[in-house]
Amino acid sequence: MSGSISLHSVSKTYDRAVRAVDRVSLDIAPGEFLVLLGPSGCGKSTVLRMIAGLEDITAGDLYLDGEYANHLPPGQRGMAMVFQNFALYPNMTSRDNIGFPLRFEAPGEDSGPRVEATARMLGIEDLLDRYPGQLSGGERQRVAMGRAVSRRPSVFLMDEPLSNLDAELRSRLRSEIARLTRELGVTTVYVTHDQSEAMSLGDRVAVMRGGVLQQLGPPRDAYGLPENIFVAAFVGTPRINLLQAVVHAPLEGAMSIALGAQRLRLPEPLAPDHQLLRIQQGRPVVVGLRPEAVRIATPSEARPGEVAISGLVEHLEYQGHEALVHLNTGSQPAVVPDLEPSRSQPAVRRRRGTPAPGMLSRLRERAARQVAGPVVVIDEPDPAPPPGGIAYDSERPPPGTGDLVVRTGPDTRLRSGTQVPLLVDLAHLYVFDHYGRRICPAPADLPGLDVPPL
Ligand SMILES: Nc1ncnc2c1ncn2[C@@H]1O[C@H](COP(=O)(O)OP(=O)(O)OP(=O)(O)O)[C@@H](O)[C@H]1O
């Protein structure tokens, strides 16, 4: 087996009601490391389990090495799985745990040389005669990986394999997994809700939300060119600043984006990406600024492409290698629900008085999940929802939390309550429309920017 995996519009519905995975299409190349990333309950594990054959596919097609494989039994798929809970047999030594699958795959063959070669690869030779109870969490996970590796599968499926480990061990094992899968050249599908893990491991990252694939591409694109507000907010620590804004495009005079009482004046001649914002004139949009897109400096220090605003220091968060300044610029943050949903909550909050879910509301919920919405507009009292079922929130953010986080050097000394000048780098400005789609920088396929998603 070469290890290519293709999902064509694959869905999974549990109990006729919960659509855990909604028409996901993915092509994973042989030897590729693909990470499924998303918040808890978004359907990552279900995708992995359908690839493994541990879960039936409700609709859509799965191809392994180009062959239709929906009904292929798990044992015939040439895959090995590593779970978060190590799953070792407690009454077997590491040697027996690693050799156990080989008893079935190559009956009668001496598994010793393969077990030892695997142990050498993972640096666990001296643990081979210990029982799981005599191993640390990290050692247990190495043995669990050894069991997967010894089978020489064509695909590794890993479901949050590091989530039970402490931070230092996670980072060490992360590089070991990267090295091991690269050396073995084995296709790997890795599930995590930890975006930094996804960014550091994946050749490509598939970001999911509410069962729907939001974006598929290299980690650099998920961070630098998020297709929607959900991906922008989910990827990156500290989280991107998302501010409610309005585009002003007068027939005469400069175009600007209002953030509360302040304005980002777009320099003339307008950049092509900024020209496309003209059609949003007067509409609420959301501005996204990563913490490194704004710096504390006076207007006279502005470089080309930087525009001045100001902010009131709320507090300084010292991080050792850097400091994060929390500022209040007088704008309203936009809120993206579903970033960390609890399993008991529905995927999209409904407005008061909305009837119980029927076909129409289910369709609307699905449409809302396909884009990043709902985007919360705090200042508008009870606005009518646009098509697509986007909901609104009337809660204000807690006072004193600031609306903008800016990254600075660790030596910054700033007192709370100080008004500071800020420079916004327009080269790193994101604008999302009312439906949560990125409209600046312009999307590659330039959809009808006015058209509601359905
Ligand atoms: N056997 C099941 N029966 C009913 N619903 C299920 C079942 N397994 C999963 N689900 C539901 O399907 C959705 C997706 O679950 P899944 O485990 O794939 O999410 P996940 O993104 O892997 O979450 P986590 O990171 O918390 O494991 C959830 O709403 C979950 O409650």
Does ligand 1 come within 6 angstroms of the Cβ of 15? yes
Q: Which mutation among 10, 13, 14, 57 tests ligand 1's pocket best, with the greatest number of atoms within 8 A of CB?
A: 14
Does ligand 1 come within 6 angstroms of the Cβ of 434? no
Q: How far is the CA of 343 from the centre of ligand 1 (A)?
A: 8
**Considering only CA atoms, which residue is closest to atom 5 of ligand 1?**
14
Contact indicator for 164, 85 with CB cutoff of 8 Å: yes
Give me the pLDDT at residue 397, please. Answer: 45
Does ligand 1 come within 6 angstroms of the Cβ of 193? yes
Q: Which mutation among 35, 44, 190 tests ligand 1's pocket best, with the greatest number of atoms within 8 A of CB?
A: 44
Does ligand 1 come within 6 angstroms of the Cβ of 11? no
CA 239 distance to own-chain centroid: 12
- Specify the pairing of strand 187-192 against strand 33-37: parallel
Does ligand 1 come within 6 angstroms of the Cβ of 38? yes
Q: Which long-range contacts (CB under 8 A, 24 or more apart) does 254-257 make?
A: 257/285, 257/287, 257/431
> CA-to-CA distance for 296 and 311, rounded, in angstroms?
9
Domains of the chain: 5-224 (3.40.50.300), 229-440 (no CATH)
Strand partners of residue 155: 79, 187
Strand 59-64: give its sheet, edge to edge: 18-28, 5-14, 59-64, 67-68
Question: Length of the chain, please?
Answer: 454
Q: How far is the CA of 40 from the centre of ligand 1 (A)?
A: 8
Q: Which mutation among 42, 338, 342, 348 tests ligand 1's pocket best, with the greatest number of atoms within 8 A of CB?
A: 42
CA distances from 197 to 162, 193, 292 (A): 9, 8, 21
**Considering only CA atoms, which residue is closest to atom 26 of ligand 1?**
40
- Residue 150 has which token pair? 């010894």
Low-confidence stretches of the chain (pLDDT < 50) are 341-357, 359-360, 363, 371-397, 449-451, 454
Q: How far is the CA of 44 from the centre of ligand 1 (A)?
A: 8
DSSP state of 325: E
Does ligand 1 come within 6 angstroms of the Cβ of 16? no
Place of tokens 């610029």: 329
Q: Which mutation among 46, 56, 344 tests ligand 1's pocket best, with the greatest number of atoms within 8 A of CB?
A: 46
Give me the pLDDT at residue 72, please. Answer: 95
Find, among 216, 297, 309, the residue nearest to 262 by Cα.
Answer: 309
Place of tokens 């492409």: 305
Q: Is the preceding peptide bond at 299 cis, omega within 30 degrees of 0?
A: no
Does ligand 1 come within 6 angstroms of the Cβ of 41? yes
Give me the pLDDT at residue 447, please. Answer: 56
Give me the pLDDT at residue 367, please. Answer: 52
Ligand 1 closest atom vs CA 43 = 18
- In sign, the C-alpha dihedral spanning 65, 68, 71, 72 is negative
> CA-to-CA distance for 361 and 365, rounded, in angstroms?
6
Number of DSSP helices (H) and strands (E) in the chain, helices first: 10, 21
Ligand 1 closest atom vs CA 49 = 18
> CA-to-CA distance for 242 and 251, rounded, in angstroms?
27
Q: How far is the CA of 144 from the centre of ligand 1 (A)?
A: 23
pLDDT in tens, 24-54: 999 999 999 999 999 999 999 999 999 999 9
Q: How far is the CA of 23 from the centre of ligand 1 (A)?
A: 16
The SS3 call for residue 359 is helix
Strand 155-159: give its sheet, edge to edge: 79-82, 155-159, 187-192, 33-37, 204-209, 212-217
Q: Please give the backbone phi and psi of residue 232, each rounded to the nearest 5 degrees, phi first.
A: -60, -40
Ligand 1 closest atom vs CA 45 = 22
Cite the beta strand spans of 131-240 per DSSP E. Answer: 155-159, 187-192, 204-209, 212-217
Helix, strand, coil proportions of the chain in percent (round to 5)?
25, 30, 45
pLDDT in tens, 69-108: 999 999 899 899 888 776 789 999 999 999 988 887 777 7
Does ligand 1 come within 6 angstroms of the Cβ of 370? no
CA distances from 131 to 19, 64, 127, 307 (A): 41, 36, 9, 62
DSSP state of 280: G
Query: pTM value?
Result: 0.84
Give me the pLDDT at residue 159, please. Answer: 93
Q: How far is the CA of 141 from the centre of ligand 1 (A)?
A: 23
Contact indicator for 316, 408 with CB cutoff of 8 Å: no
Q: How far is the CA of 15 from the centre of ligand 1 (A)?
A: 12
Q: How far is the CA of 89 from the centre of ligand 1 (A)?
A: 25
User: What is the value of ipTM here, to two decimals?
Assistant: 0.97
